[in-house]
Structure 1
Amino acid sequence: MKKNILILFLAFYCIKAFPQQTQLILKTEKDIVLNTDKFAMVLSIEENKDVNTIYLGKKLKDEKEYRKINGQYKQAHDYTNMYQSAYTASGTRNLLEPAISVEHADGNQALDLKYVDHKIEDKSPNQKHVVVTLKDQVYPFFVELHYLTNVKENVIEQWAVIKHQEKKAVKLVKYASANISVKGSDFYLRNYHGDWIAEMQPETQKLTHGIKTLDSKLGSRTNLFQTSYFALSIDNPIAENEGTVLLGGLDWSGNFRVDFEKDPQENVRIIAGINNYASHYSLAPNKEFVTPRFTFTLSTQGLGQGSRNLHEWARNSRLLDGNGERLTLLNNWESTYFDFDEKKISHLLENTKKLGVDLFLLDDGWFGNKYPRNADTSALGDWEVNKKKLPNGIFSIVKEAKKTGVEFGIWVEPEMVSPKSELYEKHPKWVVKQPARDEYYFRNQLVLDLSNPEVQDFIFNMMDKLFTDNPGLAYVKWDCNAVIYNAYSAYQKDQNNFYTDYTFGLYKVLERFRAKYPKVPMMLCSGGGGRVDYGSLKYFTEYWPSDNTDPYDRIFIQYENSLFFPAIASANHITTFGNQDIKFKVDVAGMGKMGFDLNLEELHDEELKFAQEAVKNYNLYKDIVWHGDLYRFANPRETNHASLGYVSKDKSKAVMFNYLTKYTHVSKTTNPIKWDGLDANKNYKITEINLYKSGSYLQNDLVLSGDFLMKVGINPILENNRRSVVLLLEEVK
């Protein structure tokens, strides 16, 4: 008896004196393995019902061996047994950044989530949906962790559903979508900052202890300064074709927050979700709060394979009509700005046909009567056709376009209102602004309160009327130019809900629009690239990367966007911006969805002829760019040129874009550029296209094997008077 008491005393003493050792008493009850073709994410259900992420890496052949992983790590002690939590709650034993914090109906702020059960559903041969249900030990508060695996694309979508059965509302203080623990020796983060006309500026850093946060508090146009999309390299610095890299981001068009915390065990915890800045969400009993999805891929072959994973997933599962076609177009903005009438539009329709593109897009300036839209200072919200500019309405232009042999599209900015507008006069409570403070304008406008169902109805009805009044309307450019100042909603009872409900309201409008008009092509523009995310792209066929259309700058912006978004979604226009020749501008626009935004009358005959021929060439290779696989051969930030290639799925065709990015008299490509993604056993005829003012520098009837091109390469011969080269590869049988 005395011996047993002594043993119990010693055991108690060890636990009290060395609390860090208590982690050793926890045992794994079972594992939940989330598999894709190439990698696995493994959740463990511990004996005390904690749920942890114990592995993220290459898929093992034997799933039983996942249980042996933790035993191979001899890291610093986890005092809490929560460092690897799959969804870290705050207020009990957690010492690190939480994924969720709440204030219960009685004011208590503690939460301890324990495993209840999990379900696995095969949604298709390629998709498996896993739902893990957690519950607090004391309160009737529940969290469902959702994981959707896209097997072939090697992509996981993760989100949470939060609900409770307490007597009154619970305040969600923080409510992330994902909480991922990653093990490694070192971690290198590439994230992006920017501003208007300077989007997607990369920064790469080695993560140190503490928290690195990517976030936005702008309310709308939320990617203006930062994007939530990033690349995290594990163990080694970021490389294009080697190393383990996690690429992903939050699929959300509102305020976001992504935390990277290097914990005391030298691991990195990624916590991503809606930004809880000024947004402590009030959740009523028996209601569900569904977080946006955090989408990521894990590549063991560097950035390149990670990009191809995301592109394939986006085309198949997220981007609207991702495997379909796109319309090339001519936009009137730089031809006319606000100054146009029916005669000018008629002439531009003829130019659209003459150029050989599919569609004419009428940009800003077509609406408003009491306050005509003759500048960006009035009329937003008054979506009625300006009778002076277009006395016969939009439908007459749609009919004329059809008669000319082209389609017709139109620009709108539905979320915004001009202080000088009839809408503002009639419905001041629909506007986001503080009731007793000065109004602050961003680009001479304010934002409508999309958290208000009446405003949602107004915007949907406006869009619906545009299409019912104008049958045959074929395209929409949806713009969003302002951020939210003086955030206040006359509709919301709890102002903490505003920022989040604004974005939910936007999605409700887009859901309604797409339910009635599922196939209308629509460009997502937000003062340029201010809203480029997969939360919005499920409703749009393409996005506008930047208002900066100087082709030199666009090379860099488009290159960085290509890490996350497929070329079919990138709207690239040839404009008057930049002092480069027409060839360089066309060649840069070719690595995406091509469009024109210039006055054909200002082109010389030789330039016009080249542009017409370039459109024909684009029609030959656009399918490869839109639906093929992207390979980046040369990063313009690391050398004097950029080089990218797109390869068709059957590897029978490919197209290569090459641009000189440092202009000096001696700058050139001295060495061949190695290809990737071709079939080593195929032979390819190589033809230079988009020739302008001179012939090709390449040998006539040049045929090279895929083996040669991938091991030796080809020199496009870039130099100061030959700044862009496009090569078309076709299999020779």
Structure 2
Amino acid sequence: MKKLLLTLLAAMCAAAGATGADRAPEIISVNTDRVSLILCVERDGRVHMRHFGGRIDDAAPLAAYSTHRRPDHGAGEEIYPAMGGRNFRLPALRATHADGDLNTELRYVSHETLPSADADVERTVVRLADPVRPLEVELLFTAYRRENVIATRSRITNRQQGPVTLHAFYSSALSLHGYGSYLLTQLRGGWADEAQIEHLPLGHGTHSISTRKLVKATHSENPAFMLSLDTDRFDEEHGEVIAGALAWSGNYRIDFSVDEYDVLTILAGANPDASEYVLDAGRTLTTPEMIYTFSDCGAGGASRNLHDWARRYGIRGGDRGHVPTLLNSWEGAYFDFDEATLRGMIDDAAAMGLEMFVLDDGWFGNKYPRNHDRAGLGDWEVNRAKLPGGIDRIASYAHRQGLKFGIWIEPEMVNPQSELAERHPEWVVRAEGREAPLIRHQWLLDLSNPEVQDFVFGVFDHTLALSKKIDYIKWDANRHAESVGSAYLPADRQSNFWVDYAEGLYRVMERIRAKYPDVLIQACSSGGGRVDYGALKYFDEVWTSDDTEALSRSRIQYGTSLFYPAAVMGAHVSASPNHQSGNVIPLKFRFDMASAGRLGMELQPRQMSDSERAFARRAIASYKEFRDLVEEGDLYRIGSPYDPSGTFGTLYVSKDKRRAVFLAYCIRYRGHTPVPQFRLRGLDDETRYTVRELNVDRPRCWFDGETLTGAYLRHEGINPPLQRLYDSAVYILEAE
């Protein structure tokens, strides 16, 4: 049988000319309206990457392109470099074959353009195979023409008689040449300090963005980046920029390696570190999708490309319509509430013009009541002492007050002090014979196990059955994975856990979305721990950070906006002094900052003064005027919270450029002399815009109520008197 498979594979390669020395080089082009990814099939069957960047319509000259690379410096820029032959680079694919062979050399078999029902989308598949060992790789490229995004992933199939161990199995390899320098922009941080911007010039050698946490995987780093080309500075408006984001909710790694020829190779995919994947005979592993875009008008252009793609293709409910403003119970009540407390919060939310109430943690558990975070997690039954009328009574009350209703769950986790842990200790992620470490007094459930997948789906299903009036689920996940072990996986497949857990989560979400397509779901994960395009295929929004303080949010929301649209960024107005930082911040600044995302509130309204409630009503009503711009408009970052000036702004412009909203902030004292000058890019030069400030009793600026041309606003701009810490303003611009 093995000889037959090898014979068939060799015949396929020969028929396609993949190994023929007389084969003429062939060009494969993947194009959007403004971007090209160009490959060349060489005479020996290797497939090299020749270009990623601005669109090239006539790519034929690249068939004769030479890198002048010496043979003793390794192979050229293969589109999916494998460990074997002359490849000295980090491999996209490293495998131990069933017979122990450590080498893989991929050669071209065929390629084709696949049919698509969407005229905006073109799919190309390039098939490769090892001519000696029956291991096949398909590279799948999806081009989104209008959005100028190209997504790529790999599909690895084992045709051998025994298992193949995959030590590295990246989604994509992208090689860039001809640039003198590369400036990497990445996100770093930690819990309540997510999405902080870091710029790093790339020198020779390898730099990685990675995590091994599995859950809460995007707190410290995010699987997304920008590369500014041929420059040492980050620029919103000018220059060539490549942006990438990995759609994966597990361990990831993105490697940036610059070799002696100054070629930068980017490998992106699931993290291979201690995660060898054993692929059985006849099985296929499909890797996560890697999303790329190119902009020749700076970082702002790259962000807008990603945002357009995300709203149409990358996020759940991107075309759903407006998301309700909400009051979340957590920072207003924590675990200490009863029906009267919740009814009071619902009444206040309705009076302020909010559209939804969300009941957070603490509503479940009877034998082990959820009165703190040390017990009850896993026992998803309504706490009869707190809510004797059940969830339906409180959800129905919210609906009678004109509000939608949401509820919190954390189905992937369990407290040791719970009935679930007593019934199913084998469901807990732990290495046999070792203690399972606790984080936030809880353990992780083993989602590689189909029984656990059924349970997690059942938690969601059972929760929705508590009331027909549940419109929204807040899905939390408050610990990462460590000291892992699976009672379900065989001893020789334990390292498969890292991939199988994430795939298990996705299988659960597929079932949930098949049954509940219209329920809004937020990915929380201790705040910003699951901010990735893998999760956003199933979740409508992310909780951007557990830090609700508006000053901290200035950087968190700015960093997140590089890759993810405001339409997914949950942003709440919370109490003052803030519960995380202790800072005392004016209510207007808190509203103006939260209004740059999906506006909500997270406090006890009864602790607000009458004047604060009145302002909240006004600010919520104003937000409803322009939230379509925040959710659907083009984003222009005007300055940055990192600027020494201490002032910056966020501009959202409608697609037809007839309306815009500009939110401006001062985050340090500037004295009495300097006044910021904000030049507003993105408007139409010939259109005349009337500028109107919101949420103030009288005009504060000379231009309030004036009608100015887009050219004036772009070249000269506006100069609001934002000079003191926590000064802020919101301006609506409307075409005549």
Give yes or no for TM over 0.5. Answer: yes
Residues in 2 aligned to 1:65 and 1:162: alpha-carbon distance in whole angstroms: 31
1:233–1:244 CA contact under 8 A, matched in 2: yes
Residues in 1 aligned to 2:87 and 2:62: alpha-carbon distance in whole angstroms: 25
Are 2:716 and 1:712 aligned? yes
| 414, 417, 422: which one aligns with 2:414 | 417
Are 2:134 and 1:135 aligned? no
Q: What letter is aligned with 2:96? A: E
Residues in 2 aligned to 1:318 and 1:336: alpha-carbon distance in whole angstroms: 35
The residue aligned with 2:231 is 236
2:25–2:63 CA contact under 8 A, matched in 1: no
The residue aligned with 1:4 is none
Post-superposition Cα deviations, 1:389-448, rounded to whole Å, max 9, x if no partner, equal 001110111111111111110001111110111100100000001231223111111100
Are 2:733 and 1:729 aligned? yes
Moved runs in structure 1, 4+ residues, more than 2 A?
A: 25-28, 60-68, 75-83, 663-670, 694-701
Residues in 1 aligned to 2:595 and 2:526: alpha-carbon distance in whole angstroms: 22
Q: What letter is aligned with 2:539? A: F
3-state DSSP of counterpart to 2:152: strand
Q: What letter is aligned with 1:205? A: L
Relative to structure 1, the CA distance from residue 137 to residue 700 in structure 2 (aligned partners, 3 Å threshold; closer, same or farther) is: closer
Residues in 1 aligned to 2:531 and 2:164: alpha-carbon distance in whole angstroms: 32
Aligned-residue offset at 1:92? 2.2
Are 2:664 and 1:658 aligned? yes
Relative to structure 1, the CA distance from residue 426 to residue 560 in structure 2 (aligned partners, 3 Å threshold; closer, same or farther) is: same
Aligned-residue offset at 1:279? 1.1
Residues in 2 aligned to 1:248 and 1:195: alpha-carbon distance in whole angstroms: 21
1:407–1:473 CA contact under 8 A, matched in 2: yes
Residues in 1 aligned to 2:281 and 2:680: alpha-carbon distance in whole angstroms: 58
Relative to structure 1, the CA distance from residue 182 to residue 342 in structure 2 (aligned partners, 3 Å threshold; closer, same or farther) is: same
1:688–1:698 CA contact under 8 A, matched in 2: no
Are 2:421 and 1:440 aligned? no
For this pair of structures, how many residues does the alignment match? 703
The residue aligned with 1:92 is 85
Aligned-residue offset at 1:480? 0.7
2:668–2:726 CA contact under 8 A, matched in 1: no
Aligned-residue offset at 1:264? 1.7
Residues in 2 aligned to 1:509 and 1:642: alpha-carbon distance in whole angstroms: 41
1:667–1:720 CA contact under 8 A, matched in 2: no
| 32, 35, 41: which one aligns with 1:39 | 35
Are 2:220 and 1:225 aligned? yes
The residue aligned with 2:256 is 260
3-state DSSP of counterpart to 1:386: coil
1:141-156 equivalent positions in 2, closer than 5 A? 141-156=135-150
The residue aligned with 2:185 is 190
Residues in 2 aligned to 1:724 and 1:268: alpha-carbon distance in whole angstroms: 42
Relative to structure 1, the CA distance from residue 683 to residue 133 in structure 2 (aligned partners, 3 Å threshold; closer, same or farther) is: same
The residue aligned with 1:110 is 103
The residue aligned with 1:250 is 246
2:110–2:128 CA contact under 8 A, matched in 1: yes
Residues in 1 aligned to 2:294 and 2:521: alpha-carbon distance in whole angstroms: 30
Aligned-residue offset at 1:28? 5.5
The residue aligned with 1:524 is 523
Are 2:568 and 1:573 aligned? no
Post-superposition Cα deviations, 1:587-641, rounded to whole Å, max 9, x if no partner, equal 0000111000011111111111010000110010000111110001111212311
The residue aligned with 1:429 is 426
Are 2:553 and 1:554 aligned? yes
1:77–1:265 CA contact under 8 A, matched in 2: no
3-state DSSP of counterpart to 1:632: strand
Residues in 2 aligned to 1:105 and 1:426: alpha-carbon distance in whole angstroms: 40
Aligned-residue offset at 1:700? 4.6
2:322–2:627 CA contact under 8 A, matched in 1: no
Residues in 1 aligned to 2:212 and 2:674: alpha-carbon distance in whole angstroms: 44
The residue aligned with 2:300 is 304
The residue aligned with 1:176 is 170
1:49–1:114 CA contact under 8 A, matched in 2: yes
Are 2:120 and 1:126 aligned? yes
| 624, 632, 653: which one aligns with 1:647 | 653
Post-superposition Cα deviations, 1:177-221, rounded to whole Å, max 9, x if no partner, equal 000101111111111211111111222111111110111011211
| 327, 331, 334: which one aligns with 2:331 | 334
Q: What letter is aligned with 1:99? A: A
Residues in 1 aligned to 2:35 and 2:22: alpha-carbon distance in whole angstroms: 26
1:640–1:668 CA contact under 8 A, matched in 2: no
Relative to structure 1, the CA distance from residue 667 to residue 347 in structure 2 (aligned partners, 3 Å threshold; closer, same or farther) is: farther
Q: What letter is aligned with 1:172? A: L
Of stretches 722-731 and 156-165 in structure 1, the one that deviates more from structure 2 is 722-731
The residue aligned with 1:162 is 156
Aligned-residue offset at 1:59? 1.2
3-state DSSP of counterpart to 1:642: strand
1:247–1:297 CA contact under 8 A, matched in 2: yes
Residues in 2 aligned to 1:177 and 1:59: alpha-carbon distance in whole angstroms: 23
Residues in 1 aligned to 2:375 and 2:274: alpha-carbon distance in whole angstroms: 30
The residue aligned with 1:635 is 640
Note the aligned Cα RMSD (angstroms): 1.5
Residues in 2 aligned to 1:476 and 1:83: alpha-carbon distance in whole angstroms: 49
The residue aligned with 2:280 is 284
The residue aligned with 1:6 is none
1:193–1:226 CA contact under 8 A, matched in 2: yes
2:667–2:726 CA contact under 8 A, matched in 1: no
The residue aligned with 2:5 is none
The residue aligned with 2:10 is none
Aligned-residue offset at 1:96? 1.2
Of stretches 219-228 and 504-513 in structure 1, the one that deviates more from structure 2 is 219-228
3-state DSSP of counterpart to 2:537: coil
Aligned-residue offset at 1:508? 0.5
The residue aligned with 1:21 is none
2:586–2:726 CA contact under 8 A, matched in 1: no
Of stretches 118-127 and 420-429 in structure 1, the one that deviates more from structure 2 is 118-127
3-state DSSP of counterpart to 1:530: helix
3-state DSSP of counterpart to 1:442: coil
Aligned-residue offset at 1:701? 2.4
Residues in 1 aligned to 2:354 and 2:540: alpha-carbon distance in whole angstroms: 17
Post-superposition Cα deviations, 1:523-574, rounded to whole Å, max 9, x if no partner, equal 1111110110000001111111111111011011101111100111100000
The residue aligned with 1:208 is 203
Residues in 2 aligned to 1:315 and 1:497: alpha-carbon distance in whole angstroms: 33
| 309, 313, 319: which one aligns with 1:313 | 309
Relative to structure 1, the CA distance from residue 473 to residue 35 in structure 2 (aligned partners, 3 Å threshold; closer, same or farther) is: same
3-state DSSP of counterpart to 2:25: strand
The residue aligned with 1:696 is 700
Aligned-residue offset at 1:101? 0.4
Residues in 2 aligned to 1:718 and 1:61: alpha-carbon distance in whole angstroms: 48
Q: What letter is aligned with 2:536? A: L
The residue aligned with 1:11 is none
2:405–2:471 CA contact under 8 A, matched in 1: yes
3-state DSSP of counterpart to 1:701: coil
Residues in 2 aligned to 1:722 and 1:277: alpha-carbon distance in whole angstroms: 45
1:339-350 equivalent positions in 2, closer than 5 A? 339-350=336-347
Are 2:588 and 1:583 aligned? yes
Residues in 2 aligned to 1:62 and 1:133: alpha-carbon distance in whole angstroms: 24
Of stretches 637-646 and 150-159 in structure 1, the one that deviates more from structure 2 is 637-646
Residues in 1 aligned to 2:500 and 2:353: alpha-carbon distance in whole angstroms: 44
Q: What letter is aligned with 1:98? A: P
1:122–1:129 CA contact under 8 A, matched in 2: yes
Residues in 2 aligned to 1:239 and 1:284: alpha-carbon distance in whole angstroms: 48
Residues in 2 aligned to 1:689 and 1:78: alpha-carbon distance in whole angstroms: 66
1:76–1:264 CA contact under 8 A, matched in 2: no
